[in-house]
A and B are shown apart, each in its own frame.
Chain A
Amino acid sequence: MADKKNRSSLLSNWPDSPTFEDPIDLLPFQRDASVVEKGFPEAVIQPKSSSAVGEILRQANHDRVPVYVRGAGTMYAGGANPHAGGIVMDLSGMEQLLEIDLDRGIVVVEAGTKFVALLEALKPLGQTVGIVPLTGPTATIGGAVSSHALGTGSPRHQSMGDCVAGLEVVLVDGTVVRTGSAGCSGAGFFQRYCIGPDLTGLFIGAEATLGVITAVCLWLYPLPESRETLCLGFQDPLTASKYLSAVQSCELTRNMWYGGGYESGAINARVSAARPDLDVGSLPKFCVGIELGGKQDEINYDRARLIALGSDYGSKSFELFDEIYFQKLRLEETYWYSFAGYFTRSRCALLMCSLPSNKLPQFLNCLQSMREKYEQFVWGGALVICRRGLHGGVVTFYDEKNQWEEIMPAVSDAVKQFTNAGIVPYKSGKIWSKNSAHFKNYQHLLGMIKKGVDPRGILSPGNLGV
């Protein structure tokens, strides 16, 4: 890696890209929202254009200086934490809306654009984008693409990657490349799969290990005319999982803007906070919360079908949960709940994974075993319904002042338990990568690609285990 002299020449070269080196300015760039240890950057650079990104990368590559990329730093996997030191490239200032083309049904934005800023720009046109994470007011589109965002839109589209029509990426040698149809000069963005293999996909979820995304092209979708919520209570998670598989296999997710699954602990906690007098023993053991969006007649039709299908699995409408929690979460204060809900108790470790719907009981069993093994923490579970399968979130509340030493081993243990149960890491960053034995051949291929595009290994060393 580079010596100090190289670094100062690297840093003094960019008059148009603000650069911070004062130690106090580096503190906010040491970590993201995760439990992953901090890193210690030597400088932060805020480029304002893809050509500036290219020049900085070329120089950093020449000088062998590690470069970590950061959007808003809201991820919970440590990908933006500069563990090998070097530079943090902060892209949050690249937030121009580059193109809206209603005929092609696409929008192109710079990578630092915040989700909600984009949604606001699209609203007057009656348009929206496919996936929006709960961190919409702060999270950047580039960060979301690089870390497989999910959430609002997952039942219809699955993940952020499924909504990307193409990318502009800067490689370590400074080359600025556009993927998909835009790879052909003069054609512009409109189609993801053309020319050859899906090079767009190479950078989705890559956590800045292969290139720096400077612009993203997303498909546009019409804003729903109406939105309403529906909660169904089930006797046990197994029946709920069968119901979810049935819903997915008959594509009843097509007008679902959001779908969440709530285990017994989460149901009881929320109900007893709102209605302390109520006996939680009589509550359902699993709840499926659904937000429908679209034309009113489509909503009415799907709602009736979802309820009818639910009754085949013994579900009943769970209006109480809808009223005290789900409606507020989805229709009133989505962004507020995302944080207040997670963090009001304390800081928390978030672990995200992917599972087929029929593995829901195993997911909950793993969670329960963690609760029993690590009683000093409060463990919560959350499930997001996807077009196929589920995303499962494990939330571990801990006291950072007194429990720092204990939290990471517990999280690593959870990673082991979930992978052993055939549950797959989602949003890997640095948390899952420590347990990469399960993905040996996958890592082998990833390593080869990494060597090809970043031979000196300057891009986010440590992320994804490469």
Chain B
Amino acid sequence: MVGFSVNVQKGVAMGIDKSLLPEKIFEQYSTDLYHCASCNYCVDAVWPDRNINHVCVTLQHHEKNPSYSGRGFIEAARFLAEGNELDLASLAKRVFTCTGCGNCDTVCPIGLRPSEVGKALREWLSEEGLAPKEVVASRSKILSDGRAYAGSSIYSDIKYTEYAETDCEINYFPGCSSNENLLKTVQSDLKLMDLLRVKFRYLDPHDNCCGAVLKELGEEKESAVWAQDLFKEDQQSSRRNSLVVSGYECCNHLSNTTNREPVSLPRWILSRLLSKDSSTKLELRTKHSVRVNLLETCQLKKESQINRSNPSDEFLFREFLEGFDIIVLNEHYPSQHALCCGASGSMKAMQPTSASVMATDKLPTEEDVISITLDPRCALHYCKSANSSNAVMSFSTFICEYFSISD
């Protein structure tokens, strides 16, 4: 522990001695703790130029209480750093009721990292055995199953062409959300790859979790070990095929923990479809125009390697749709920020009801609108949460169902 004593009345650091915050957190985040201007942007803001209409989905749909926000995490960390006691169970409840969407980081006008402070607090509380019981249960289940999602792997049951390592262009990792509960998506992903004649090798026949979900549950170290174990073979692959991954949280995690720079499946497929050299012809099957609601993925807005790709995956998708008689209802897609659908981080484990509300709130009420997401993890969560007849499809299912594809 770092120590520095405080004048509690003034609440500001004066010397060294009594901090209740681990030294490593203080050292890494002291600028965030002491530079925060209490401007409230990360709590709630409306800023159309940046397409922001509220910032923190937890406050929006769980509890309008700033202690659940990025600023709340900073205030709590600083309070502890200044030697004040705080009920750590209350702190744990708040920092784990977070989607890890990172909106609070990207909206901060002075570049502070409140969501990272939250993540550091989660890790610390986990190490101290103070993670909430819901999180512990969810984590234990993943640790024993090796997977974050219920539902067994289906790749062994589906017909698809697999190539020898030496022949293929990509190593493909679908992630553990792509299981029997997401059958259509899995089938569509593979169908598109087949149609586009992508020669791929399917990584990890057991569909184990790459650790991304564990990380958000406070198991930072273990999550990195999982990623490295899972990708040992891939990392040693002499041919260095591109690594294509379907989930964005997995993409972010793998890029942070392995020596690979994964490409997302939507990017890979959409780039091919949009390529000038492509001989693939696509035609809309319906005679009527199709109305779509494009669901944004918060993991695509975070500061990360995949997000530095230009144009962004969501932009590519919009560009792809533009050539057809498709009416995109959300004018601002893609925007700089998106409220999480509730699938991310420890939100589902901690607050399943709020997590469902977060999803349903993003779905339109009109019957004839198709909602489309690029991320299979979100697709799974939407499908489980939505009780309307509205369809939520992955981008690949949408393409397979609404287009005829030929050479």
Interface residues of A (CB under 8 A from B): 18, 20, 22-25, 27-33, 37-38, 46, 72-74, 92-93, 114, 116-117, 120, 135, 137-138, 333, 335-336, 338-340, 342-344, 346-348, 399-401, 404-405
Contact = CB atoms under 8 A, between A and B. Distances in A.
B39 to A, nearest CB: 5
A339 B41 contact: yes
B312 interface: no
A404 B10 contact: yes
A167 B30 CA distance: 43
A343 B72 contact: no
Interface in B12-38: 12-14, 30, 34-38
Nearest to A336: B109
10 contacts: A18-B65, A24-B94, A27-B75, A27-B79, A30-B75, A31-B38, A37-B11, A138-B41, A138-B44, A347-B35
A120 B46 contact: yes
Interface stretch (B47-55, B143-151, B164-172, B392-400): B47-55
A73 B39 CA distance: 8
Nearest to A332: B49
Nearest to A399: B34
B138 interface: no
A33 B34 CA distance: 12
Interface in B48-96: 48-49, 52, 63-67, 69, 71-72, 75-76, 79, 86-87, 90-91, 94
Contacts of A73: 38, 40
Q: Which 3 A-B pairs have the closest CB atoms?
A: A339-B109, A28-B66, A404-B12
Identify the interface centre among A20, A23, A33, A137: most chain B CB within 10 Å of its CB.
A137
Given A339-B109, A400-B35, A401-B34, A120 B71 contact: no
B245 interface: no
A32 B67 CA distance: 15
A120 B94 CA distance: 32
A33 B110 CA distance: 14
A68 to B, nearest CB: 15
A46 B64 contact: yes
B45 interface: yes
Contacts of A18: 63-65
B9 interface: yes
A345 to B, nearest CB: 9
A22 B39 CA distance: 23
B68 to A, nearest CB: 9
A28 B34 contact: no
A166 to B, nearest CB: 24
A340 B71 contact: no
A404 B14 CA distance: 8
A25 B65 contact: yes
Nearest to B10: A37
Contacts of B64: 18, 46, 92-93
Contacts of B12: 400, 404
Contacts of B49: 333, 335
Given A28-B75, A37-B10, A72 B47 contact: no
Given A138-B43, A343-B37, A343-B39, 12 more contacts: A22-B87, A28-B66, A31-B38, A46-B64, A72-B40, A73-B40, A93-B64, A120-B48, A335-B47, A338-B109, A340-B109, A343-B35
Contact of B67 (A27, A342, A344, A399): A27
B384 to A, nearest CB: 28
B109 A138 contact: no
Contacts of B9: 37
Contacts of A346: 35
Contacts of A37: 9-11
A339 B45 contact: no
Contacts, number: 120
A301 B115 CA distance: 50
A339 to B, nearest CB: 4
Given A335-B47, A335-B49, A339-B41, A24 B34 contact: no
A25 B39 CA distance: 17
B76 A339 contact: no
B72 A27 contact: yes
Interface in B88-116: 90-91, 94, 109-111
A24 B87 contact: yes
A401 B13 contact: yes
Contact of A38 (B11, B37, B43): B11
B contact residues, range: 35 or more
Contacts of A336: 109
Contacts of A28: 38, 43, 66-67, 69, 71-72, 75
B110 A343 contact: yes
Given A72-B40, A137-B52, A138-B44, A347 B72 contact: no
A28 B70 CA distance: 11
A451 B239 CA distance: 83
Contact of B45 (A138, A342, A405): A138
A22 B75 CA distance: 14
Contacts of B40: 72-74, 138
B13 to A, nearest CB: 6
Contacts of A117: 46
Contacts of A400: 12, 34-35
Contacts of A22: 67, 87, 90
Contacts of B36: 347
Nearest to B90: A24
Contacts of B13: 401, 404
A402 to B, nearest CB: 8
Contacts of A339: 37, 39, 41, 109-110
Query: Chain B CB within 10 Å — which of A23, A28, A29 has the most?
Result: A28
Contacts of B69: 28
Nearest to B81: A401
Given A20-B65, A46-B64, A120-B48, A138 B90 contact: no
A135 B47 CA distance: 10
Between A24, A31, A399, the greatest number of chain B beta carbons within 10 A of the residue's beta carbon is seen for A24
A343 B37 CA distance: 7
B21 to A, nearest CB: 14
B44 A92 contact: yes
Nearest to B13: A401
Contacts of A138: 39-41, 43-45
Nearest to B107: A137
B103 to A, nearest CB: 13
A401 B35 CA distance: 9
A23 B11 contact: no
A24 B30 contact: no
Contacts of B30: 401
A137 B43 contact: no
B39 A116 contact: no
A73 B36 CA distance: 13
A30 B44 CA distance: 17
Nearest to A38: B11
B92 to A, nearest CB: 10
B39 A74 contact: yes
A30 B67 CA distance: 12
Q: Chain A CB within 10 Å — which of B12, B45, B46, B75 has the most?
A: B46
B124 to A, nearest CB: 15
A400 B32 CA distance: 11
B65 to A, nearest CB: 6
Contacts of B43: 28, 72, 138
Nearest to A346: B35
Contacts of B79: 27
Nearest to B111: A344
